[in-house]
Amino acid sequence: MLRSLLTVVVLCLVYAHVQGTPFACCNGNGEMVYGFCDSALPGIKDWDDFKTCWESAKVHFSNTTVVGEYNVTLAERYSIFVLVLDDNITEINALQEEVPLTFSADIIPEGSTPEYGYLPWEISVSLPFSAEICPKFIFSNLAVNFTLQGEQRRPPNAINLKFSISGCGRQTQRISNFTFKGLGYSGLELAFLTLTDSNLLAIEHVSADNTSGLDALNFIEIDVIKSSLSYFGDVTGNIGMSYGLSQYGSRAVASSFVVVDPDEFVANFRWRSPNDFNTYQFSWYGGYPQESGNNSTGFVHIDRSTVEYIRDLDLGSVNVSACTFRPWISKKNPVFSREHARTIPKDPPGIQIYNMEMGLKSRNMLTKATRNAEARRAWLQVAAKAIKLAGSSALETLVVHNTSHNVNLI
């Protein structure tokens, strides 16, 4: 059974493959293959197989056996653990009495570092794949918790851990009723699938240099439908970079993105240090299908959704309809801290809505040149008024209307 490397973030995987083979691959009945996930072994076929491989991931990342000539451990050599689903299954239904599956940060020995230093630790789920037609598949009721005992933050010198699920097409592969909690050290990445009726909570891990190496939430060519997404950190919706698959960007439909106070979930949470290269950003990038020879003019990237953002909002080449965007008005927002205020004269909070397709006529989109300065002023004016109101829910609203969009920037 040949597997495609649609297992981890596409660009990262391609680069990793060129440099080496850092994969520990768990197949059916928990059988392991190290190095590369192309294997004739049957993949995971049911919930029991999946649980077995999840437990194998804990054993793998705690393994301190030294391998090879460079004095690295088995986990450091194979830092990406892949749960390989069988290509012939059509569904897995997690038993509600057996979730959430858990993974604690202290499983990975302190001081451990992936051999390929540009990679994070990663647990990745590879959905069924076919080189011809992406097979239909649905994963229901999965729930996972990434945390540290006592909800403490990870040591500042710890390497980020990423949890990812990768499919081959949002039209045929779906994750339903998914519950994710990454509290202070795990980011979530979903690629080439549809997410429905799910609840996500992702709080970034900030390293010793007071920066975050991973998005709290990262979506590549997926549809997010009727889901609630709570986060603190960065959020990115992005286009796919895989040959033969779509490159239109992700969609959010009837969903909400809500910023949460990380101190309520992670004890002794470490905040980023404010500087010009360390700002919080909600980004959503896409392409216009109708400008790429595709007749599906109804492709809307963010539709009937609410987006709350910490600092910067960046929308590039996306169609948006009936949505509300609002800054996180809280005393805990770093934007209002004394340290962050020093960076504002040079780089104030900003809203950019623009067309990334150079040379193409902007399709009724707000352009950076005409709206960015006004949007930045509006951000600060609204925030200032909200703080003065101190308990009132009344907010000034900057409403943007044109022929194809109805967007509220609150």
The pLDDT of residue 364 is above 50: no
Same domain, 161 and 59: yes
Final residue of a structural domain among 241, 271, 301: 271
Domain residues for the domain of 107 are: 1-271
Same domain, 55 and 142: yes
Same domain, 137 and 267: yes
Domain assignment of residue 325, yes or no: yes
Same domain, 241 and 360: no
**pLDDT higher at 10 or 207:** 207
Give the pLDDT score at 118.
79
Domain assignment of residue 179, yes or no: yes
Highest mean pLDDT (candidates 169-178, 266-275, 278-287, 339-348): 169-178
**What is the average pLDDT value for the chain, to the nearest integer?**
79
Same domain, 266 and 192: yes
Same domain, 323 and 200: no
Share of the chain above pLDDT 90, in %: 44
Distances in Å between the alpha carbon of 59 and those of 30, 56, 119? 12, 5, 20
Please calculate the CA angle 252-99-168 and round it to the nearest 5 degrees: 40
Same domain, 340 and 244: no
Domain assignment of residue 209, yes or no: yes
The pLDDT of residue 128 is above 60: yes
Give the pLDDT score at 210.
64
Nearest to 6 by CA among 135, 140, 118, 161: 135
Instruction: Indicate the helix (H) or strand (E) that contains 300.
Output: none
**pLDDT higher at 389 or 346:** 346
Average pLDDT over residues 381-386: 52
Q: Which residues pair with 220 in a beta bridge?
A: 191, 238
Share of the chain above pLDDT 70, in %: 71
- Is the entire prediction scored with pTM above 0.75? yes
For residue 264, report the phi and psi dihedrals to the nearest 5 degrees.
-80, -15
The pLDDT of residue 173 is above 90: yes
Nearest to 85 by CA among 127, 115, 119: 127
Highest mean pLDDT (candidates 19-23, 37-41, 325-329, 378-382): 325-329
Average pLDDT over residues 323-336: 88
Give the pLDDT score at 395.
30
Over the stretch 223-281, which tens digit does the pLDDT of each residue have?
A: 999 999 999 999 999 987 666 566 788 999 999 999 999 999 888 888 887 765 568 99
Same domain, 316 and 202: no
Q: pLDDT-derived band of residue 159, with 50, 70 and 90 as boundaries?
A: confident
The pLDDT of residue 197 is above 50: yes
Give the pLDDT score at 339.
72
Average pLDDT over residues 127-134: 91
Sheet containing 320-321, strands listed edge to edge, beginning at the edge strand earlier in sequence? 91-93, 137-140, 173-176, 194-196, 223-225, 251-253, 302-303, 320-321
Domain assignment of residue 159, yes or no: yes
**pLDDT higher at 235 or 11:** 235
Please calculate the CA angle 266-272-278 and round it to the nearest 5 degrees: 140
Average pLDDT over residues 271-292: 74
Give the pLDDT score at 237.
96
Q: Three-class SS of residue 75?
A: helix
Q: pLDDT-derived band of residue 381, with 50, 70 and 90 as boundaries?
A: low
The pLDDT of residue 62 is above 50: yes
Between 10-14, 28-32, 143-147, 374-378, the lowest mean confidence (pLDDT) is in 10-14
Domain assignment of residue 97, yes or no: yes
Give the pLDDT score at 30.
94
Domain assignment of residue 26, yes or no: yes
Token match 């997404």: residue? 229
d(CA 396, CA 159): 42
Same domain, 229 and 335: no
Same domain, 92 and 188: yes
Average pLDDT over residues 346-368: 57
Domain assignment of residue 302, yes or no: no
Domain assignment of residue 298, yes or no: no
d(CA 315, CA 319): 9
Same domain, 62 and 211: yes
| Domains contained in the chain, number | 2
Same domain, 214 and 74: yes
